């Protein structure tokens, strides 16, 4: 009998969890992926049916424990969420299930039998309850889809924001958990009006917290956008100041060049020309950033910091961008970490060389199927390609040697990313290829 109950509940449970998996994609504005949805539905459906069949006497505590553990596992390893995002998603899913549970109970008590509760219901009643829950989840999914309710969460939450979210989640659980226990153990003794009042109160608590999550994500993104706009305005002001200075000195520079030409001092003219290029190079680097990178604030800010770092190291950096930067199928946090490590290594290596040159190129493949990021730097001596990616390998004093090893470790998570390394004469080059259409499933 238990086997029949487990199979019956599993079949309907998997259907219900499929709807919940779709809701999860809608709420977090994720690209639709049937593999993720079915993986979630299969694991959650089976675990929920197992709890309802074999752990029924253990009460809601056992169910909640299994739900939390299973949900976090799927969100972390199947959906590839961060820990904070997984906790938030798990809490939202739990709150949605609470809404459906609290709505199903009064519906049954009002229209079926007044003594109905989670303890005394039969298998048929359990199956009907699950079907009713599935219908309610479909309604919730339609509401989320039609009204475009979604939570936008940046990957780089500040510590203060993280603490705020965690406290909000804990308060939600502390408010909801005792009520769920109450519904499970005592509702069959309560009058219908009190049950309806308690259910409606719980629904409002859930809705308020969900709305707070949505608003919090939007506020965090707006905050980051304001910070980025301030940074963008600062770079524009620097460009304007540089152009004003260039215009002011233009006639003077022409007179200096005329002086070198009049005395046929070509060597002096070459040196002056090199200095002139170095002065204008900063403006030349800002132009592609403002044209192609400004829509990706994390990368924009990173490149500005590396331009400043190269100036401190007295290294010339040339940036060439020929396409709009699109970061797909790789987390922006991982992308920035890789780019930051490679640029730091290139600048530090170039600082020790004679030419002191770093070149960054960002372009698309001719068929626009891949993005290429290539970093080339001048260097001294030879580079042992077979050793540079080993854990702890370094040629620099007081360095841990984890940089390139960390790059290799991050890239190994993505099937759509490749790293090419080349060495020739006194130059070292690393090129990353990111395929747009290749998934990491």
CATH number for the domain harbouring residue 340: 3.30.565.10
Instruction: Tell whether the model's pLDDT for residue 282 goes beyond 70.
Output: no
Assess if residue 400 is contained within a domain: yes
- Residue 401, pLDDT score: 44
- One domain for residues 12 and 118: yes
Spatial contact of 44 and 71, defined as CB atoms under 8 Å apart:
yes
Domains identified in the chain, total number = 2
**Which is nearest to 23 in space by CA: 2, 40, 1?**
40
Q: Are residues 194 and 300 in the same domain?
A: no
Q: Is 15 contained in some domain?
A: yes
The full 3-state SS of 116-136, as one line of letters, equals: CCCCCCCHHHHHHHHHHHHHH
Stated as kind and residue range, the H or E segment containing 252 is helix 192-262
Structure tokens at 112: 């079926």
Q: Are residues 65 and 185 in the same domain?
A: yes
Domain-embedded: residue 269: no
Q: Which residue has the tokens 């506020």?
A: 219
Establish if 195 belongs to a structural domain. yes
Residue 134's domain comprises 2-222
In a domain, 255, yes or no: no
190-208 average pLDDT score: 63
| 36 and 181 housed in the same domain | yes
Is 156 inside any structural domain?
yes
The DSSP bridge partners found for residue 361 are 320, 374
Q: 186 pLDDT exceeds 60?
A: no
**Do the Cβ atoms of 91 and 72 come closer than 8 Å?**
no
Same domain? 199 vs 306: no
Stretch 74-92: mean pLDDT: 80
pLDDT in tens, 133-168: 888 888 888 888 887 777 666 555 555 666 666 676
Contact yes or no for 101/180 (Cβ under 8 A): yes
Q: Which of 170, 195, 222 lies at the terminal end of a domain, its last residue?
A: 222
Q: Are residues 170 and 314 in the same domain?
A: no
Residues 190 and 315 occupy one common structural domain: no
Looking up tokens 């100036």 gives 311
CB 426 within 8 A of CB 379: yes
pLDDT at res. 285? 65
My answer on whether 120 and 12 are in the same domain is yes
Evaluate whether residue 278 is within a structural domain. Answer: no
Of the residues 197, 222, 247, the one at which a domain ends: 222
Element (DSSP H or E) covering residue 310: helix 297-312
∠ CA 198-203-205, rounded to 5°: 95
| Residue finishing a domain among 222, 242, 259 | 222
CA separation for the pair 361, 286 (Å, rounded):
14
Q: What's the confidence (pLDDT) of residue 342?
A: 92
Residue 441 lies in a domain: no
Q: To the nearest whole number, what is the mean pLDDT of the chain?
A: 76
The answer to whether 9 and 127 are in contact (CB under 8 A) is: yes
CB 338 within 8 A of CB 410: yes
């Amino acid at each position: 009998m238990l086997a029949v109950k487990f199979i019956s509940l599993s079949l309907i449970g998997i259907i219900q969890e499929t709807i919940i998996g779709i809701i999860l994609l809608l709420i977090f504005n994720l690209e639709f992926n049937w593999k993720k949805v079915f993986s979630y539905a299969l694991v959650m459906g089976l675990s929920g049916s197992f709890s309802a069949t074999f752990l029924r006497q253990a009460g809601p505590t056992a169910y909640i424990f299994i739900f939390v553990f299973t949900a976090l596992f799927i969100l972390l390893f199947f959906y590839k969420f961060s820990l904070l995002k997984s906790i938030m998603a798990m809490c939202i899913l739990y709150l949605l299930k609470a809404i459906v549970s609290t709505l199903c109970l009064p519906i049954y008590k009002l229209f079926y039998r007044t003594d109905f509760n989670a303890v005394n219901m039969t298998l048929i009643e359990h199956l009907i309850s699950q079907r009713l829950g599935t219908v309610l989840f479909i309604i919730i999914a339609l509401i989320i889809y039609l009204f475009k309710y979604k939570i936008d969460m940046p990957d780089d939450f500040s510590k203060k924001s993280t603490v705020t979210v965690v406290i909000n989640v804990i308060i939600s659980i502390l408010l909801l958990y005792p009520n769920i226990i109450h519904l499970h153990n005592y509702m069959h003794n309560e009058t219908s009006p009190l049950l309806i009042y308690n259910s409606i109160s719980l629904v409002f608590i859930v809705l308020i917290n969900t709305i707070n999550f949505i608003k919090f994500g939007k506020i965090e993104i707006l905050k980051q956008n304001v910070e980025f706009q301030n940074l963008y305005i600062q770079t524009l002001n620097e460009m304007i100041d540089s152009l004003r200075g260039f215009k002011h000195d233009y006639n003077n520079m022409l007179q200096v060049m005329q002086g070198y030409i009049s005395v046929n001092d070509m060597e002096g003219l070459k040196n002056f020309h090199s200095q002139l290029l170095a002065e204008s190079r900063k403006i030349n680097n800002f132009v592609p950033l403002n044209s192609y990178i400004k829509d990706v604030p994390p990368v924009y800010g990173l490149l500005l910091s590396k331009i400043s770092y190269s100036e401190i190291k007295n290294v010339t950096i040339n940036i060439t961008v020929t396409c709009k930067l699109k970061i797909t199928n790789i987390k922006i946090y991982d992308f920035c970490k890789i780019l930051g490590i490679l640029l730091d290594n290139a600048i530090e290596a170039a600082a020790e060389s004679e030419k002191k040159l770093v070149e960054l190129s960002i372009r698309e493949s001719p068929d626009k199927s891949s993005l290429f990021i290539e970093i080339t730097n001048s260097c001294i001596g030879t580079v042992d390609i077979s050793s540079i990616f080993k854990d702890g390998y370094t040629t620099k004093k007081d360095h841990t040697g984890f940089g390139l090893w960390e790059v290799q470790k991050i890239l190994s998570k993505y099937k759509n990313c490749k790293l090419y390394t080349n060495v020739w004469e006194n130059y070292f080059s690393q090129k990353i290829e990111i395929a747009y259409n290749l998934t990491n499933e």
